[in-house]
Structure 1
Amino acid sequence: MSDVVLETRGLARHFPSRHGAVRAVDGVDLQLRRGETLGIVGESGCGKSTLAKLLVGLERPTSGSIVVRGRDTATLRGAEMRRSRRHIQMVLQDPYTSLNPRMTVGDIIGEPYEIHPDVVPREQRVRVVQELLDVVGLNPDHINRYPHQFSGGQRQRIGIARALALKPEIIVCDEPVSALDVSIQAQVINLLERLQREFGLSYIFIAHDLSVVRHISDRVAVMYLGKIVEIGQDQAIYEQPTHPYTQALLSAVPVPDPRLRGRRDQIVLEGDVPSPVDPPTGCRFRTRCWKAQGVCAQHEPQLEMRPRSPHPSACHFAEVRNVIRRY
Structure 2
Amino acid sequence: MAEAREPILQVRDLYKHFPLTQGILFKKQIGAVKAVDGVDLDLFAGETLGIVGESGCGKSTMAKLLMNLERVTSGRILYKGEDITKLSGRALKAVRRNIQMVFQDPYTSLNPRMTVGDIIGEPYEIHPEVAPKGDRRKRVQDLLDVVGLNPEYINRYPHQFSGGQRQRIGIARGLALRPEIIVADEPVSALDVSVQAQVINLMERLQDEFSLSYMFIAHDLSIVRHISDRVGVMYLGRIVEIGGDEQIYEHPTHPYTQALLSAVPVPDPTAREHRGRIVLTGDVPSPANPPSGCRFRTRCWKAQERCTLEVPALAVPAVFRGVDTPAAHDSACHFAEEQK
Task: Determine the structure 2 residue equivalent to 1:319.
Answer: 337
SS in 2 for 1:254: coil
What do you get for the CA RMSD once the two structures are aligned? 1.0
Pick one of 185, 198, 208 that aligns with 2:209.
198
Q: Tell me the equivalent position of 1:5.
A: 8
Match of 1:284 among 295, 306, 312: 295
Partner Cα distance (2:154, 2:212) in 1: 25
Out of 110, 113, 121, the residue aligned to residue 124 of structure 2 is 113
Question: In the aligned structure 2, how far is the partner of 1:150 from the partner of 1:3?
Answer: 39
Q: What amino acid does structure 2 have at the position aligned with 1:272?
A: D
1:234-249 superposed matches below 5 A: 234-249=245-260
Separation in 1, partners of 2:315, 2:113:
49
Cα distance in structure 1, aligned partners of 2:290 and 2:144: 46
Q: Which sections of structure 2, spanning at least 5 residues, go unmatched?
A: 22-29, 321-326
Alignment deviations for residues 223-265 of structure 1 (CA, whole Å, 9 cap, x no partner): 0000000000001100100000000100111111111111111
Q: Distance in 1 between matches of 2:55 and 2:118?
A: 33
- Provide the rounded CA distance (Å) in 2 between the counterparts of 1:4 and 1:271: 38
User: Could you say which residue in structure 2 is the equivalent of 1:14?
Assistant: 17
1:266 aligns with: 277
Please tell me the residue identity of whatever aligns with 2:329: H
Shift of residue 69, structure 1, vs aligned partner: 2.1
For 1:20, what is the secondary structure of its paired residue? strand
Return the match for 1:134 from 113, 138, 145: 145
Give the superposition deviation at 1:2: 6.5
- Runs ≥4 in structure 1, deviation > 2 angstroms? none
Aligned residue type for 1:313: S
Q: What is the distance in 2 between the residues matched to 1:2 and 1:318?
A: 27
Identity %: 71
Matched, 1:256 2:297: no
Q: How does 1:20-169 map to 2 (within 5 A)?
A: 20-169=31-180
Q: Which residue of 2 aligns with 1:208?
A: 219
- Decide whether the 8 Å contact of 2:33 with 2:288 is kept in 1: yes
CA distance in 1, matches of 2:62, 2:104: 14
1:295 equivalent in structure 2: 306
Q: Which residue number in structure 2 is paired with residue 325 of structure 1?
A: none
Question: What is the CA–CA distance in structure 2 between the aligned matches of 1:113 and 1:3, rounded to whole Å?
Answer: 30
TM-score, normalised to structure 1, is 0.97
Q: Is the contact between residue 5 and residue 45 of structure 2 (CA under 8 Å) also seen in structure 1?
A: no
Number of residue-to-residue matches in the alignment: 322
What is the rounded CA distance, in whole Å, between the counterparts of 1:42 and 1:151 in structure 2? 28
**Is 2:195 the counterpart of 1:184?**
yes
CA contact (8 A) 2:185 2:216 kept: yes
Structure 1 residue runs without a partner (length 5+): 323-327
Aligned pair partner of 2:328 in 310, 313, 321? 310
